[in-house]
Amino acid sequence: MTTETQLPSEENKMGVMPIRKLLITMSLPMMISMLVQALYNIVDSIFVAQIDANALSAVSLAFPLQTLMISVATGTGVGINSLLSRNLGEKKFKEANIVANNGMTLGILSFAVFALIGIFFSRTFFELQTAGQTDPLQRQTIVDYGTSYLSICLICSFGIFLEITGERLLQSTGRTLYNMISQTCGAVINIIMDPLLIFGIGPFPKMGIAGAATATVFGQICAMLIALYFNMAKNDDIQLKLSCMKPDTSTIKNIYAVGVPSILMQSIGSVLTLGMNNILMGFSTIAVNVYGIYFKLQSFIFMPVFGLNNGIVPIVAYNYGARKPDRIMKTLKAGVLIALSIMAAGTLIFMVFPTQLLSLFNADSQLLELGVPALRIISTHFMVASASIILITSFQALGNGVYSLIVSIIRQLVVILPAAYILSRAFGVHAIWWAFPIAELVSVSMALLLFRKIYREKVKPLY
C-alpha cells in the first residue's frame, strides 16, 4: 500500500484528466449500471403484478422501508466517498485506508440493525399502513404478501450494505468500471432469477412474492462478492483487512459528518412515500399502485443522473482537496448540462407514452384512467429537478451535507406532502400530482441560494 512518504509516480486522474473526458470516464460506467438497476426494479414489479394487484400493492407499500435501508447504505457511502477522495487529493494515503476499512465496519453494523427490524417489525409495518383498508380480506392478503416480501429483504440485507460500501470504495478511487461490472451483474442475476423463483420455472420452486424477494437478495449478494473481489484484487489505493476494521471514532465521526445529512436527506423520501401512500389509500389501492408504478418508472430516468452524481462527488472532492477550483466549477457545469439532457428525454417519454408504460404492469382501465394524467403531470418537474440534483451533489462533495438536507426537507416535507394533502381535499385525487412540480420550483430556488453561499465560502477563496 502507498504511504504518505511514498507518493504515487503519477497524480490520480481526477486531478489531471480533461474534465469532460474525466466526467464521462467516471460517470458513464455508473450511469449504465444504474440504468440496469432501474431496469431490474421495473422488471421486478412487472413480474409481481402478474401474481395479482394485491401483490403489487404490497411491494409498493414495502417501498418506504426498503428506501430507508438503501438511504442508510448510500448515505454512509456518500460520507465514505467524500472523505476518502479528499484524503487522496491531499496525499493522505494512510487516512484514506482507515476510511475504507471503517466503511466496511459501518456496513456490517447497519445490516445488523435492519435484520432485527425485519425479524420483529415487518408485519406491524404493513398492519399500520393498511389500517384504513375497508375490505378485511384484501387487507389480510396485502399484509401477508408484504410481510413475506419485506422480511426476506431486510433479514438478508448484508448483501446490499456491503455491495454499496464496496462500490463506493471503487468510485472514490476512480475505478468506476469495476463498479459498473458488480452492479450490472447483480441486477442481471436478479432479473434472471425473478421469473424462475416467482413462477417456479424448471427445477425452481414456485415461491410467489417470496421468490421476488429471494431473487433480489441473491442478486445483491452476488454483486457484493464481485465488489469485494475488485477492491481486494484491483484497488491499489486501499487495503481491506479484518485487522484494520476496528472502529476509529474520529474517522467514523468524519464519515457521518457528511453521511448523516445524506442519510436523513434520502430517508425523507421514505417519509414522503409513507405519507403519500396514506393520502392515496384514502382514495383507493389503485391510486397507491399508480404512485408505486411511477416511482419504478421514474427511477429509469433519475438513476442515470444519480450515476452521474456518483462520478461528480469524487471529482469535486478530490479537486477541492487539491485546491483546483477551476476543475470544480467545470465539473459542475458539465454535470448540469448532461443531467438536463437526460431529464429532457425522460419528460418526452412520459408525455408521449404513458399508456404504454403503465401497460407494462398489467394495467386495467381504472389504473390507466388515473395513471396516464398522473405520469404527464409529474414529469413536468423532471428538467427542473436536474439542476437541484447537481447542486445537492456539490454540497455533499464539498463537505456541506447539511445544505442538501435543508433542500430535501423543504422539498419533500415542507412542500410536497402538505401540497398533496391540500390539493387532494380541494380538487380530488387527480390534483395530487401537481404537488411535485410545485415543490421542485421551491427547492431549486433554495438550492441556488445555498450554492451561492458555499461558493463564496469554499470555492472562491481557492482562486
Domain boundaries, the chain: 16-462
Mean pLDDT, all residues of the chain:
87
DSSP for 95-142, please give it: HHHHHHHHHHHHHHHHHHHHHHHHHHHHHHHHHHHTTT-S-HHHHHHH
At 9 the pLDDT is 43
pTM: 0.73
At 6 the pLDDT is 39
Burial 19-45 (b: 16+ CB within 10 A, else e): beebbbbbbbbbbbbbbbbbbbbbbbb
152, 210 Cβ separation under 8 angstroms: yes
At 413 the pLDDT is 84
Best CA proximity match to 350, nearest among 433, 265, 242: 433
Cell numbers representing residue 233 in the block? 484484487
Q: Given pLDDT bands bounded at 50, 70 and 90, which one contains residue 7?
A: very low
At 198 the pLDDT is 95
At 10 the pLDDT is 56
Task: Give me the percent of the chain exceeding a pLDDT of 70.
Answer: 97
Tens of pLDDT, residue by residue over 228-283, are: 999 999 888 888 888 778 888 989 998 998 888 778 877 887 888 889 988 998 88
List CB contacts of 455: < 8 A, sequence separation 6 or more.
Answer: none
Burial degree of 428 (CB within 10 A; 0-12, 13-18, 19+): exposed
Q: Given pLDDT bands bounded at 50, 70 and 90, which one contains residue 12?
A: low
Three-state SS at 342: helix
The 8-class DSSP code of residue 455 comes to: I
Tens of pLDDT, residue by residue over 85-128, are: 888 878 888 888 888 999 999 999 999 999 999 999 999 999 98
The C-alpha atoms of residue 332 and residue 391 are separated, in whole angstroms, by 8
The C-alpha atoms of residue 167 and residue 179 are separated, in whole angstroms, by 5
At 2 the pLDDT is 39
**Residue for grid cell 471503517:** 102
Whether 8 has a pLDDT exceeding 80, the answer reads no
Tens of pLDDT, residue by residue over 26-73, are: 888 778 877 877 787 788 888 998 898 899 889 888 988 988 898 899
Report the first-to-last Cα separation within the chain, whole angstroms.
33
